[in-house]
Amino acid sequence: MAKIHPFKAVRPPKDKAGLVASRPYEDYSIGELTAELEYNPYSFLHIINPGYKFQHEITGEKRFELVRNRYLEFKEEETLIQDEEPCYYFYKIITRNKTFSGIIAAASVQDYEENFIKKHEDTIAARETLFKDYLKVVGFNTEPVLLTYPDSEVINEAIQNAMLDAPEYEFSTHNKETHYLWKICEPEVVDNIRQEFASMQELYIADGHHRSASSFLLAQESKEANPHHTGDEPYNYFMSFLIAESELKIYEYSRLVTDLNGWSKEEFLMQLDEWFRIENRGMEVYSPSNKHHFNMYLDGEFYSLYLRMTNYKFDNSLSSLDTYILYEKLLKPILGIHDLRNDSRISYIHGKNDLIKIKTKVDSKEFAVGFGMLPLTIKEIKEVADEGLTMPPKSTYIEPKLRSGLTIYEF
């Protein structure tokens, strides 16, 4: 039984929505960031980068406090205003090649704790604690966790009916995306959506494992500090964007490695031969068409690598993932990459980028070899989560990616 509740969002007025909304901070180049901060006083980036006001780099708890101050200033100036009643928020993004529609709502930390909201990635304790401390000081969350649910006719009908009306927000962005938001507060519609989610046995985290884990830590800490805890306090929930499984877009991450771990090219290929059938494709840009097939770019040539199925043993859902196979049979034993998160010898490119980018980086001698594979499926992700297992880091790049600042959840 999933508890997915409406909430009173803090958000920009209609005329400023496109100006306030920002991409994630790390997505901006230095030039883009500087221009946005210099010429757009309404950008949410002013809140999450408070040091710009003082022309000074600020870190740690002092930065958290200044983020809080900038946020309060935006509210005082009515660049951000809180809704008076709890609502669901239907959000639609039209990109160059896909349309995404879903619901922004508050998900339960108790559901997360009891595994009604299932995970498939490991988190890093230090990052969990850092973000928990950040949330505690600033008192709000603006980046929803991406949750996915089984396709539902009830929810789909509610979304489609809402979209017959004029949206609360409609604006386009520099990367040719169009964003829409509808506010849904009618009691009957809200109750139908709440009950439909309550009938679901589980939800799955698609993106945002650290954000959900940090929200859980904050809830535990807040509960212990509150002698009058009831379970209904805002800290018992975290903001989420819920999207049907069929609407997710899952990309792969390609792997790039700086060197061959001391092997010559010929020795390296012979090492691969134990687990893979190798075919030199020359300058033909080869892209895998089946699971357990990989592409490799090495020394100016493309190769196809097919897993030798008679040699490999599939023990569980994790062992069948191509990201796991590549790590266990190639990256770790042959190239000596043991820590996929922190080893400086490995880098990643998500599959929205062309294989030509891998070729360019290897040809430039920045990397010695690159590997690609098919993206994982939602079925594979759910199977790993259902078995309580965790995928290798950088196994998926999942869209949609929402803008920050359009809906804000206060604790």
pTM above 0.75, yes or no: yes
Identity of the amino acid at 370: G
101 contacts 88 by C-beta, under 8 angstroms: no
Strands 117-118 and 203-207: parallel
Question: What are the tokens at 331?
Answer: 């990256």
| Predicted confidence band of residue 76 (pLDDT cuts 50, 70, 90) | very high
Protein fold of 253-395: 3.30.1760
| Predicted confidence band of residue 79 (pLDDT cuts 50, 70, 90) | very high
* Angstrom distance (rounded) from CA 28 to CA 36: 9
204 contacts 383 by C-beta, under 8 angstroms: no
Closest CA relative to residue 390, chosen from 294, 301, 321, 310: 321
Cβ-Cβ contacts under 8 Å for 25 (sequence gap 6 or more): 33, 45, 48, 49, 404
Mean pLDDT within 14-25: 94
**CA torsion, points 53, 54, 60, 61, in degrees to nearest 10?**
-80
Residue 407 is predicted with a pLDDT of 98
The answer to whether the Cα torsion of 215, 218, 224, 228 is positive or negative is negative
Residue 118 is predicted with a pLDDT of 97
Span between the terminal Cα atoms of the chain, in Å? 23
181 pLDDT exceeds 90?
Answer: yes
Identity of the amino acid at 111: D
Residue 314 is predicted with a pLDDT of 95
Mean pLDDT within 251-260: 96
- Classify domain 4-11+84-248+399-410 by CATH number: 3.90.1530.10
Residue 61 is predicted with a pLDDT of 85
Specify the domain boundaries for CATH 3.30.1760 within the chain. 253-395
Residue 351 is predicted with a pLDDT of 78
Residue 253 is predicted with a pLDDT of 94
Residue 171 is predicted with a pLDDT of 97
Residue 175 is predicted with a pLDDT of 86
Over the stretch 86-130, which tens digit does the pLDDT of each residue have?
A: 999 999 999 988 999 999 999 999 999 999 999 999 888 999 999
| Predicted confidence band of residue 51 (pLDDT cuts 50, 70, 90) | confident
Mean pLDDT for the chain overall:
95
Higher pLDDT, 29 or 245: 245
Residue 353 is predicted with a pLDDT of 66
Residue 145 is predicted with a pLDDT of 97
Specify the domain boundaries for CATH 3.90.1530.10 within the chain. 4-11+84-248+399-410
Q: What are φ and ψ of residue 183, in 5° steps?
A: -95, 125
Residue 97 is predicted with a pLDDT of 87
Residue 27 is predicted with a pLDDT of 84
* Angstrom distance (rounded) from CA 44 to CA 59: 18
Q: What percent of the chain has pLDDT over 70?
A: 99
Mean pLDDT within 30-35: 90
